[in-house]
Structures are given as structure tokens and as C-alpha cells.
Structure 1
Amino acid sequence: MNLDLTWRLLKGAGRKGLLGTWLTLGAVAVSTALLLFAVAANFAFEARADRSAWRNPVAAKGEAVAIEAARHDYVRDKEITVIDLAALGADAPAPPGMARFPAPGEVWLSPALKELAGQLPAEQLAGRFPSPKGVLGEEALLYPGELVAVVGHKPDAPELTRPRSDDWIVGYSPVKVASLAGEPMDDAEAYQVLALIASVLMVVPLLVFGGAAARLTVARRDQRLATLRLVGATPGQVVGMTVAEAVIVAFAGAITGTLAYALAAPLLAGIQIGGGAWFVSDLWPSPLVLGGLLVAVPLLVGLSAVVGLRRVVVSPLGVAKRETPPAMRFIRVVVLLAVLAAVPFLSRGSAVGPIAVVIGLAFLCVNLVGPWVVGIIGRVTAKQARRPARLLAGRRLVDDPRSAWRTVSGVAMTGFVAGFLCLLSPGALSGSANAGQLQVAVPADQTATVAEQARTRLKAAGITATVKPAKKLVAVALGTSADPATLDRARTALAGLVPGHTPTTEVDDEHFGVQILADVRAGTVVVLSVSFLVAIASAGITAASSILDRRQTYGLLRLAGTPLEVLDKARRAETLIPLTVMGGGAILVGAFCAAPFMIGAVNATGVITLVLCVGLGFAGVIAAGALSRPLLQSVTTDPAPRPD
């Protein structure tokens, strides 16, 4: 009975009532699509970590089946991961992405490396990996365009008997392994931690937006349900109809959002993080997680709708009479202050879980305090108003601060993210690295011999260079004007000069640092982009919903002679005034939460990011509000009040 009545009410709500339903569906669809992206990012990094684990060997505690070592080479400023392998018996397992274990002398290349080796002259790249035997599959690669080479050796080959650097950024010394399972690398774990923090910064605003979606057109629904209570509907029937309506619309929105994400996944896979793009399969969560989200989102929306029903169930007459709800309490501010008091202690620990939890709580507390502050802003605005539009805006903020907060909450949340990230945005490296000088690590008693061999090789390759032996290395100066082609020719000529060691420049040695800084910046752009999408969608949808909620009020004001321009100015003022206050407050709270993790002074990149966020946030809200002006004009064209 309840479901049938709910369906009839949905269908019979009229054109503007159905518009409110479509707004809710759109809000849930946006939330679901972006929530899938935020969740899938963690699974994507986890998938990368699993695929790269075999390159990080774990020493065998018992009988070993193979010897494994890793190093990094470079071409055109791109990193090449070289894995050296040797079988210790006939039962050595095939590495991931390979049909069998590589025989001594065999070279297997990733598709991207094979293609690049074919494009460049052999003296610049292919000469380092002669006569490739096979092509690596996806299981061996972090991302589609990764450059990887697997080289087979005999167990007593110098590449697998001589120690290498202990710095994991350079490579790994030979290790006897019982299997090729390995363990996640340090950089993989670092990216997973960053992904978790980024997810919190994206997911919490999405959850808030998703919950707010359930309360779109809340005034219209409260009036309708209060009327049903007054004519005899029980509290259980009212709750049942509300849940049914919210869940039906939310489930349709969740399905729509999932389909939108599926269409966008190939584009999202092009985002460059960790050195390259993504396999599309990485960006899809498991069926269990996907099914859980499709169930959780409608339940969240249904729960949020029920939470807002207390006034209807307890006092339907008060809703029908449009009484102003009781003011919110200061305890909301106390909760926020309590959470912020815990933030300075975060820098004393390294556990990412508590950090993510406290940041998430700070997010939620900003959302909790928002309506209370908006109510205070409304009282101040109404008291100091000198024009009708400002007075109307102030009275509206006092009358329904929760609705006003929903309109600006998206941008306020974006302000929190921007304030948090602006202090943590990394600056550039010094830029003083010498790109025209190669150096090779050499045993201390062989520097003179290796230096002479380097001169001979470079001369045979037609490369002019100054070779100088130094303590535990040989330096090859090509000059600061050396072009990339000459540099790669020198790398190829010197390949294998010292088995297991790669000739590198200072720029190569900084490659990981430059990459992680670029990835943090890219991650910042991604997080802020998601936040902006939420903010703009929230502002646009809630602005339109607010007009539908108050169409009877707007009609009465027009009948009383209020010009449409005054109503529009009042509507803009009730958005921009709390946006200015709460946006600035959220930025300060975000910066405060980031302060314990800040290293060094605030850099220009962070300040520019913050200024752009503030500017785009205000512009987005103003534009979203302007798009709903035709709807305001439509609902006031015939100002005669009509029953809902």
C-alpha cells in the first residue's frame, strides 16, 4: 500500500514536482560516479603494487630457485626498469607476464620499450638490449606505457654476483629467492598512503553531497507528508513512504552514475600518476565493492531522508503552518573545536589511519557547524540590512539555515581541500643538476681500468668526452650543450661497462624526486577537480531545488508587489554572504589541519592553487545560481499560490 501510494505521489507531483525528483536523481548520479572514482583509485594503486611486487625480491630462507636483481636505466629522460634473472634449477617459475623463465642471454621487452627501441637509432637504445626474444604481458607492467626489460643470465654472471647500491631508487643487489612473489615496493606503499588521504579529501564531500541530495525539495515533501499525517497517516506510513521515495530515486541515480563512470573510465585512465597512465581494468573496483556501493548509496540517501522527518512525525501541524524550526545549538562548534584540538598531535605519529580519520572528522564537523554559522550570519545580515533584498536574504538564512548551507557547502568543502593542499603543495627541486655528465659506480680498485675502457668505447662510438676516474666512480663529461641523442648514444656505448651498474646523470638520480613532486601536483589537481565538480553540481542543483521549495513564498511576494529583480538579488545575497564567511573559514580549518605535516615554508605553487580555488569557487557558484534564474522567473510568472 505504501509503495503504491509513494509511486502515485511521485508520478502525480506535477511538472515542477518531477523536476525536483530529477534534481535529486542527478545529484545522486554525480555523487555515485565521483565516489566510484575515489574508491577505485585505491584499488588501482593496490593493483599496481601487486603487479610490481615481483620486482622487489625477498631473500629465500630455504632452498632458492632463482637469483634476481634490479636496476634503472634511462633514455630520453624516461626511466627503464631492468630486471636481471638467473635460474638455479629447471623448476624456476615463469615471471609474471612471461610464458617461461628467460634463458641466459635472452631479453624480453615491454611493448612500449620494444616500440621505442624500433623508433630510435640502435646506437641510442636498441644496442643495450640486443636481439629481444619476447614481449612482456600486462601482468609484468605497472602501466601500459612502462619501459621494462627482463634479461636472463647464468647464475655466475657478474651481473648477479657483484653487489650493487643499497638505495632502492637506484636498484637492488642480487638476491636468491624461493619464488618471484616478492613484496610491494616502498614507493608503491607511499602512493597507496597518498591515495588514501586523497580519497578521504574526495569521499567526505561526496558523502555530504549524497546525504544532502536526499533533502532536496525537502520543504515540498515535508508539506505533503505533514498533510498526510493530519488526515490520518501513521508515523510508520510516513517514514515508509519517505524511505521508498528516496530509495527509488537514489537507486536510479546510482545506476545512472555507475553508467556515467563506466563511460568516463577510459578517459580517467589517461591521468598520468606514478610515471604513466592506467589500465582501464585498474579503475574498476571488484564486483563486491561495486555492489556494496550500489546498495550503500540508496541506503544513505534513505537514511538522510528519514533523519529530516522528525518535525513531520512529531509536529505535522507545525510544518503545515510553516513554523520556524528551533535554533541549532552551540554544541556543534564544540565538537569541531574538539576535533581540531587533536590535529597538532598527528605529527607525532606516522600511522596514516588516524590521520585520515581525523581529517575526515574535521571535514564532517565543518559540515556540522555550517548551518549554525549560517543562522548567525542571517541574524547579523537581517539586523544590518538597509535594502529589501538584503533583509529578505537575512530572514531566509534565519528561517532555514540548513537549506542555505546546502547551497554553499560544496564550495566550502572545496575551500577546506584547497586550504589543506596549499600548505602541502611541493615546490620544484633546485634545478642545478648537471645533465651533461654521466657517472658510473666502480669498485675503488678498478677506477683507472674502467676509465680507460670508457674512453675506448666512447671513441669507437664517435663521442667526444672527458673521462675522469674518481673515488668509487668514473665521471664522463659530455658538456652542458650535449643533446639528448648524444647522451643516449653515450649511455648505450657505456652499457655493461660495469656489470649491474648503469651510467646516469644527476638529473637521472633526481628522477624519482621529480616524479613524486609531479605526481603530488597531479593528485592535487585531480582532488580539486573532483571537489569543484561536487561544488558546482551542489550549488546548481540545490539552488534550483530551493526555488522549487519556495515557489509559493515567491508567488506571495510577487502578489505583494515585490519586483523579480529584488527576489533575484535576495537569492544571490543569501548564497554569497555565507559563502564568503564559510568559504574563508573552511580554508583556515583546512590549512590548520595541514600545518602539522608542512615541511618548510609555503611555496608559490600552493598560494596560486589557493587563489585559483577561491576564484573558481565563487565563479562556479555565481554561474550555477545564474542558471536557475529562468526557473525563478517561471515559478513567479503566475504568482497565484497553488496547493502542492
Structure 2
Amino acid sequence: MNAVTLAWTLLRGGGRKGMLGSVLTLAAVGVTTTLLMFAVAGNFAFADRAERTAWRTPVPAGQVETARQLSVLDMVDGRPMTVVYLTATGSGAPPVPPGMDGFPAPGELWASPELAALLERLPADQLADRFDAPVTGELGDAALVHGNELVAVVGVASDSPVLSARPLDGETVVGISEFGTDAASETYRLYQSFMAVATVLMVVPLLVFGGAAARLTVARRDQRLASLRLVGATPGQVVRVTVAEAILTALVGAVAGAILYTAVMPLLARIPIDGGPWFVADLWPPLWATGAVIVAVPLLVGLSAVVGLRRVVISPLGVARRQTPPGIRAARLLVLVAFVGAFLFMSSRFLGMGALGSLLMLVLLAGVFGAINLVGPWVVSLLGRVTALAARRPAPLLAGRRLVDDPRSAWRTVAGIALTGFVAGFTVLLSPQLTGYAEDRTLLTVSVPTTQVEAVTASVATVLPDGAKVTGTNEVEGVSLVDVETPVDSAAIDRFRTEVAQIAPGSPTMGTDDWVRFDDQLFTDVKTGVLVVLCVSILIAMVSAAVSGASSVLDRRQVYGLLHLSGTPMKVLNSARRMETLLPLAVMGGGSLACGMLMAMPFSSGGEIAGNLALLFTVVGFGVVGVVGASAVSRPLLASVMRNTPPRPD
């Protein structure tokens, strides 16, 4: 009988409790795969968005230019609007912009769906008159970051005054032969860096949880495999059977997780970043990445199962007799101290090292995660000894003895929330505060040819509200920067922008509040990312607690049954199980939280610390309640185990 056939036989012949254990493993692997695909897909999604912004950044033609391009940033209705002006040079066939059927002719206006709707909704003097052209066509998704984006492509003549404009964002007309493909905006390069950090914060706990899935119902499997060793099975045969059983179960769970991710993609696409939701297609990773996840998770589970077999292979008799395994060495703590010290030492040097610094930061961050997971069982074991020595009632004594006897199992129950505490402490201090906008007055700046300054000044008096005035004019190389102070009136300011666009095409008006909005959009996105990472971490913690709690009952069902037969009340057993969760949760959760805050200190954005701490305590409190509630889900299973335990002759 080969290993796969024997593993399948053992899975089918494990009885109802054995099948329940396999279902728990399958569920854990499924959740791990779903969330892992989300973390991986986020990187590809931001890369896709970055690629779709690249065409707006002109790349100078190498030899022969076939078109000229000017991309400017404008504002309307308090929202940013990208306007791309294009003209063919007649030197050859011009390139076709993404999302369009052909190169725009002079007088043509292509608008994104959201901009087209806004053109119909707003009065012409607030928006449409800036283009002085009807909408010719609608831009496709290939030209847009998201469906809510405001983008316009305008075809102009080669002698149009817009081609000599000097917008405030510093862009100038560039001769091109193709649209940029490697010139992603600085903003999206920053988003991609943030996503890389978020990936580490999500993936490492997921890998820990996925590895722990292989050790669910570990006692039941160890007993069974130890029996095989005692009847003559070789260590190699035991390893092969274990790997086959773990991978069979995990593969089914991984496929189920991928299917679940497909089902929830439309919901995940609603998470707003950069002012709008995602295209659903952005959140589906390439087939090779999807396949890699589906293959990697079962391999991780199989490897973790093999690592846990050392006791069975070396001492099957000890497993069969339920001997307490050797204690965990305190040297694990040195690993954590080393990684934290290295991270803090390098914290002031990461930015100056470029890409290498970013990579090193991610590696050290992942190392701290791994070290916390390594130290956790040792802390749990130490906590169990202290609890057992100080116990004066049955429940603390039982809890302490169980923590000492199997610290790894107890750690698996609370590992999720402990790692969540680290994520919460690290990310919340990085979450910046919004700047806020002017309440009554704002300062507008216009860049126009010096010959048009009088016309702009006249518009200030006729278009803007009473009290608006020109506060300064600065001439630079034939272009004047005109500063205008005005009461805040969104409609009037949009009319003024339109008036200036007609006086000096390609010269948008920007206000101090507009620049604040750009910063606040980034800050809002960082906060959204922090909340997403924390929600994923809490979900991992809750599922881990629920699955590990149920698995623990199955592993100890004989012990619980004997305690019940000897007269131990259900209340005492539940109290002991609750303490097994809460004691490590308080110590390791608090320690991980403090560790995360310590490591985030060098990068803290400052701002309103009270608001950050309020968010921190809210998230941690919700996580603790969720984990305790998830652990309580296994109480009916414990009652069932105790009811169905028959008396033993001994």
C-alpha cells in the first residue's frame, strides 16, 4: 500500500471526530489561501494602476516625434481632473492613447464616464466651457485608474496656445512617438511601497497560521503515527504518510480558498483607494501567481507537518505513553531581541539606501514576526509554570499544567491576536492625521502669460464673490503667477477656473486647499490601508482561535472525559480553558503591541496621538473580544466529548 493510499484510508477511517479534525484543517487552509491571495493580488493591483497612469507622463521621443503631449492637473467640484492635450506633428502615424479608438483630431474631447456625467450635471460656465468642445467619445478602462476618475483627452491644433502654456505642476509640452509605459506617477510608486509593507504585515501571520494548520489535532495524529511506528513502520514511511495526508487535505482547502476569494472579489473591489474603488479584474492576480499560492500553501502545510513529526520518529513509545515533551529553551528570546535591535539600528538608514533599504526593512520586519512566533511558546510555558505554582483553585491549576504540558498548542490559539497586536502597534503610529481645509477664505494661484494678467484681474472682480482680490503678481520668463485671495465658494471658484481656462488655455487655477486635498487623499488612503491590514489580522486571529480551540478539544477529549468521570464540573473545565486563552493573550498580546509601537517610533507621523491611540485601543479591544468569542465556539464540542466518554476499567 503506497503512502497516498494509506493516508486516504486513515483519513476515511478516522471516525466522526477524525473527520471533524480534517475539516478544521481544511477550513484553516481555506481561510489562509483566501487572505493570502488578497495580499498577493494587492501588489499586482497597484502595479496595474501604476501602469495605467504611465501614459499620462510624456516620454520624449527617441528620434522622430509623431505627436506632442501636455498633461496638466486641474480641479473641478473639489476633485482633481487630469487633462491631456494632444496634437499630431505630421511626421508619421501618431500613437493611439489607451482607452481610445484612435488619435484625437483637433476639437475632439474624450472624457471618462465620470467626467462625462459631470459635464452634463454642472453648468457650462463651471466646466464644459473650459474645453469648448462637445464630448466625442468615452475613455475606456485602460486609460483610467478607477471608474470614478476625472480624465479628459483633448485634441488641439499644432498652433494652439495651449501648447505654450506653463502649468503650475511644472509640466511642459513633450514630443513623443509612443505613450509612456515605464513612467508611473510618483504617487503610485509610493502606493506600491506601502503595499509591500502591508503585504509583509498580512502574509507573515498568514504563513504562521497556515503552518499551524498542519498541527491541528496533532495529538490524535501523533498517537496514530506512533502506533504505526510501534508495529513496524519505518521513519520514512511515517513521513511519507504524514506528508500525503497533510497535502491532500490542504490542497482541497487551498482550492476552496481560491474559489472563496473569487466570490468575495466584488466586495473587496469596493475598498476606496485614491478616490475610487477598484476594477474587479485588478484584484485577480496572474494565473502563475494564483497557481503559486495554491501550490505553496499545501507545501507549507506538508513541511510544517513533517517538522512536527520529530517526536514521533525519534520516540514513538514516548508519544504513545503521553510523556511531556522537553522544555523550550529561553535562547529563543535572543532571536527576537536581535531582530528588533537590528531594525531599530537601521531605521534611520533605510531611506538613504534606496531599493536595498526597502528590501532590508521588509526582511527585518518579517524576521520580527517570525521571532515573535518563535518566542510565543516559551513565554506560554513560563506563564504556565508561574500560574501552576501560584494556583489556589482547581481551574488555575489545570490551566497552568496544560500550558506547561503543551505550550505550542496554547500559543496557536492566541498567536493570531498576538501578531495582530504587533500589527496594530506598528501601523497605528504610522497613520497620519488629516490636515483640514480653510473654512472661509482660500488663496488661488494662476500661471498665465504676462499679457493676460489684466484679463485675469478683471475676472476676479466679475466672477469671484465680493471680497476677492489680487494679492500679488510675480513674473518669471514671460509667465506671471497671479495670487488671488477669495472667500470659499465652490461654484464661483469653478466659474473662475473656467474663465481663466478660456483666457489662457492650459493654465489651470490651483488653490491652497487643492494641494491640501492631495495630501489628505494620501493620508486617507494610508488610514484605509491600516484598517484593512488590521481587519485581516483580526480575522486571522478569530479564525485561528476558533479552529485551534476546537482542535484542542479533539486532541484532549480523552483527558477531558476522564476529568469529567472523576467528578470535575464542566464549569471548572470551561474556566480552565478560558484562562488558557486569556493569560497568554494578555501577556503576549500586550508584549507584541508594545514591540510594534517601539519599532514604529522612528517612523511615527506625529499628529494627534490621542486619535491614533483611540483607534489602537478600539482595534485591540475588538480583537480580544473576537478571539475570546471565537474560543467559546468550541464549548458545545467540549460538552459533547464529555457526554460521550464511556467509563474505563482502569
Give TM-score, length-normalised by structure 2: 0.94
Shift of 1:453: 5.0
Give per-residue Cα distances to partners, 1:100-129, cap 9 Å, x unaligned. Answer: 111122111011111221222323322223
Match of residue 568, structure 2, among 562, 565, 583: 562
**Number of residue pairs matched?**
633
Give me the whole-angstrom Cα distance separating, in 1, the residues matched to 2:450 and 2:380.
Answer: 71
Match of residue 144, structure 1, among 147, 166, 173: 147
**Conserved 8 A contact 2:384-2:399:** yes
Q: Which amino acid aligns with 1:410?
A: G
**Conserved 8 A contact 1:104-1:153:** yes
Match of 1:348 in 2: 349
Match of 2:579 in 1: 573
Give me the whole-angstrom Cα distance separating, in 1, the residues matched to 2:439 and 2:154.
Answer: 30
Q: Which amino acid aligns with 2:426?
A: F
Give me the whole-angstrom Cα distance separating, in 2, the residues matched to 1:64 and 1:465.
Answer: 48
Give me the whole-angstrom Cα distance separating, in 1, the residues matched to 2:35 and 2:170.
Answer: 37
Give me the whole-angstrom Cα distance separating, in 2, the residues matched to 1:553 and 1:321.
Answer: 13
Give per-residue Cα distances to partners, 1:324-375, cap 9 Å, x unaligned. Answer: 1101112211111111111121321223111111111101110011001111
Match of 2:419 in 1: 413
Match of 1:177 in 2: 176
Match of residue 113, structure 1, among 106, 115, 119: 115
**Conserved 8 A contact 1:467-1:474:** no
Shift of 1:601: 5.8
Shift of 1:556: 0.9
Secondary structure of the residue aligned to 1:172 is: coil
Give me the whole-angstrom Cα distance separating, in 2, the residues matched to 1:157 and 1:495.
Answer: 13
Give per-residue Cα distances to partners, 1:53-93, cap 9 Å, x unaligned. Answer: 01111223432222212122222212111111122124111
Match of 2:282 in 1: 282
Shift of 1:176: 1.9
Match of 2:478 in 1: none
Give me the whole-angstrom Cα distance separating, in 1, the residues matched to 2:437 and 2:114.
Answer: 29
Unaligned runs of 5+ in 2: 352-356, 475-480
Match of 1:93 in 2: 95
Match of 1:221 in 2: 221
Q: How is 1:249-264 mapped onto 2 (pairs within 5 angstroms)? A: 249-264=249-264
1:597 and 2:603 correspond: yes
Give me the whole-angstrom Cα distance separating, in 2, the residues matched to 1:506 and 1:642.
Answer: 81
**Conserved 8 A contact 2:25-2:214:** yes
Q: How is 1:430-445 mapped onto 2 (pairs within 5 angstroms)? A: 430-432=436-438, 438-443=444-449
Task: Work out the percentage of aligned pairs sharing the same amino acid.
Answer: 52
**Conserved 8 A contact 1:435-1:505:** no
Give me the whole-angstrom Cα distance separating, in 1, the residues matched to 2:493 and 2:593.
Answer: 47
Match of 2:11 in 1: 10
Match of 1:310 in 2: 310
Give per-residue Cα distances to partners, 1:480-503, cap 9 Å, x unaligned. Answer: 4x3x33333333333233332212
Q: How is 1:146-545 mapped onto 2 (pairs within 5 angstroms)? A: 146-165=149-168, 170=169, 172-182=171-181, 183-344=183-344, 345-350=346-351, 351-432=357-438, 438-443=444-449, 446-452=452-458, 454-455=460-461, 458=463, 466-468=468-470, 470-472=472-474, 473-480=481-488, 482=489, 484-545=490-551
Shift of 1:433: 6.8
Give me the whole-angstrom Cα distance separating, in 2, the residues matched to 1:579 and 1:109.
Answer: 54
Give me the whole-angstrom Cα distance separating, in 2, the residues matched to 1:511 and 1:642.
Answer: 73
Q: Which amino acid aligns with 2:548?
A: T
Match of residue 552, structure 1, among 555, 558, 565: 558
**Conserved 8 A contact 1:107-1:132:** yes
Match of 1:44 in 2: 45
Match of residue 124, structure 2, among 95, 119, 122: 122
Give me the whole-angstrom Cα distance separating, in 2, the residues matched to 1:266 and 1:381.
Answer: 48
Moved more, 567-576 or 90-99: 90-99
Match of 2:354 in 1: none
1:135 and 2:138 correspond: yes
Q: Which amino acid aligns with 2:73?
A: H
**Conserved 8 A contact 1:67-1:86:** yes
**Conserved 8 A contact 1:418-1:528:** yes
Q: Which amino acid aligns with 2:115?
A: L
Q: Which amino acid aligns with 2:253?
A: G
Q: Give the direction of change, closer, same or farther, for the CA distance of 1:285–1:380 in structure 2 (3 Å limit).
A: same
Give me the whole-angstrom Cα distance separating, in 2, the residues matched to 1:443 and 1:433.
Answer: 31
Give me the whole-angstrom Cα distance separating, in 2, the residues matched to 1:604 and 1:86.
Answer: 53
Q: Give the direction of change, closer, same or farther, for the CA distance of 1:434–1:357 in structure 2 (3 Å limit).
A: farther
Give per-residue Cα distances to partners, 1:140-161, cap 9 Å, x unaligned. Answer: 1111221100111223322212
Give me the whole-angstrom Cα distance separating, in 1, the residues matched to 2:287 and 2:327.
Answer: 44
Q: Which amino acid aligns with 2:554?
A: L
Shift of 1:475: 4.2
Secondary structure of the residue aligned to 1:176 is: strand
Give me the whole-angstrom Cα distance separating, in 2, the residues matched to 1:434 and 1:420.
Answer: 37
Secondary structure of the residue aligned to 1:233 is: coil
**Conserved 8 A contact 2:431-2:605:** no
Give me the whole-angstrom Cα distance separating, in 2, the residues matched to 1:549 and 1:581.
Answer: 25
**Conserved 8 A contact 2:30-2:255:** yes
Match of 2:625 in 1: 619
Shift of 1:443: 4.6
**Conserved 8 A contact 1:440-1:498:** no
Moved more, 528-537 or 178-187: 178-187
Give per-residue Cα distances to partners, 1:183-241, cap 9 Å, x unaligned. Answer: 11111100000010011100000000000011100011001110111111111111111
Shift of 1:449: 4.3
Give me the whole-angstrom Cα distance separating, in 2, the residues matched to 1:597 and 1:188.
Answer: 20
Give me the whole-angstrom Cα distance separating, in 2, the residues matched to 1:405 and 1:641.
Answer: 31
Give me the whole-angstrom Cα distance separating, in 1, the residues matched to 2:45 and 2:120.
Answer: 30
1:632 and 2:638 correspond: yes
Q: Give the direction of change, closer, same or farther, for the CA distance of 1:509–1:151 in structure 2 (3 Å limit).
A: same
Secondary structure of the residue aligned to 2:86 is: strand
Give me the whole-angstrom Cα distance separating, in 2, the residues matched to 1:446 and 1:4.
Answer: 85
**Conserved 8 A contact 1:433-1:507:** no
Moved more, 63-72 or 275-284: 63-72
Give me the whole-angstrom Cα distance separating, in 2, the residues matched to 1:237 and 1:533.
Answer: 37
Q: Which amino acid aligns with 1:40?
A: A
Give me the whole-angstrom Cα distance separating, in 1, the residues matched to 2:420 and 2:606.
Answer: 24
Moved more, 291-300 or 84-93: 84-93
Unaligned runs of 5+ in 1: none
Moved more, 595-604 or 27-36: 595-604
Give me the whole-angstrom Cα distance separating, in 2, the residues matched to 1:322 and 1:499.
Answer: 83
Give me the whole-angstrom Cα distance separating, in 2, the residues matched to 1:174 and 1:511.
Answer: 26
Give me the whole-angstrom Cα distance separating, in 2, the residues matched to 1:287 and 1:452.
Answer: 59
